[in-house]
Amino acid sequence: MENDNNRRKFIKNVGIGAAAIGTAGLAGVLSSCKGQKQEQKAITTSSKIQWQATSFWNPKVKIMFDMVKVFCQDVKEMTDGQFEIKLYGGGELVPPPGAFDAVSKGTVQMGTGSPYFWAGKSTAFNWFGSIPFGMNAQSINSWFYEGNGQTLMNELYDKFDLVPRIIGNSGVQMGGWYAKKINSLEDFNGLKMRIGSIAGKVLSKVGVTTVFVPPGEIFPALERGVVDAAEFVGPVHDILLGLYKVAKYYYTPGWHEPGPTLDIFFNKKAYNDLPKHFQKILDIAAGNINIRTLAAFDAQSGAALDTLVKEHNVDVQVYPEDVMKKLKEISKDVIEEEAQKDPFALKVHEDYKAFQAKTAVWGNMSEKVYWNTMA
């Protein structure tokens, strides 16, 4: 509790400091540029700003929703209460998939989800979410902060009058829950599976019928045989959904989502109308939650997996090497096909691919060697 209080004091002081700097700057504008548009904008910043936000996630989806709540609280504290964001869970204002359109149209000012949820609008969104056998969370963060990831993301979302930021990552996910073992690629043939994005297109190549099932309906879908297999996130969330009760085998690794990014996006006009220091506070708060979300997954996933194995007798399986090799080959072809559908997607894909190759040089020499010695 003491650490949390100290964090809040620090955040508040940082925010007040930023606001003070912004206020001082604006005072200078007022004294020297009276009668100009800048003066009018400066005057409006003294009033309290209130936004509404809608999320793809509902409050039962721990970590993802909880961290967005922390984001909103941080913004309030960093602005000394002058900027409040009221957060609604998925379905409270609009259906979860409607979050993107609601913010794009200006119905609400902020939304959250994951970029690949919006791939129906442009396949390019997939690369900002997660790509099969793509970059992990560490490399994804490098791409966004030190590569062209954020610039390209800005360019895509701008087409929909949105300003995007990344706000978290689950890290490498689990591969999913199955009613039967996967010993070969042929065992996928005929399966009905809850899996989405480009990974669904990969598995369709080996005979899987993909079915969209919202998180809250995964359990009954498995129980009734609507699907034979399903993936969601990982131990933290899968144990809450009770999936261990209706599927025997739990597979790893999540080849389909090795570094799934979460997004937060603001209505472009609403964002641009904010004072500059408030815009900066949103950016800083998003960066902070991006780190904390991954940290929460890393901190909680091991204990949740331990509970699944020791208390619920879950049978954890590793995909056979030959299955992984073949899925990787198929994924490469599918991803290239998908990139060719859209000139901008191809542009993003080429940049993503080049950055992944560059970071892999160091990852293979450091992280991979280290974890192999720990095995």
User: What are the pLDDT digits (tens) for 178-223?
Assistant: 999 999 999 999 999 999 889 999 999 999 999 988 888 999 999 9
Output the pLDDT for position 42.
39
Per residue in 86-126, pLDDT tens? 999 999 999 999 999 999 999 999 999 999 999 999 999 99
> What is the distance between the terminal CA atoms of the chain, rounded to a whole angstrom?
36
Q: Is the pLDDT of residue 41 over 50?
A: no
For the domain 2-172+263-298, what is the CATH superfamily, name and number? Bacterial extracellular solute-binding protein, family 7 (3.40.190.170)
Multiple choice CATH, 176-258+301-374, 3.40.50.300, 3.40.190.10, 3.40.50.1370, 2.30.42.10: 3.40.190.10
The residues of the chain that CATH labels 3.40.190.170 are 2-172+263-298
* Per-residue pLDDT tens digits for 297-316: 999 999 999 999 999 999 99
* Phi, psi (degrees; rounded to nearest 5) at 228: -95, -15
Q: In angstroms, what is the C-alpha Rg of the chain? A: 22
Q: Please, are residues 293 and 169 in contact by the beta-carbon 8 Å criterion?
A: yes
Return the bridge partners of 87, or none.
53
Quick one: what percent of the chain has pLDDT higher than 90? 81
What whole-number distance in Å separates Cα of residue 329 and Cα of residue 360? Answer: 18
> Do 75 and 49 meet the contact criterion of CB atoms below 8 Å apart?
no
pTM of the model: 0.86
Q: Vertex 259, ends 279 and 120: CA angle to 5°?
A: 75
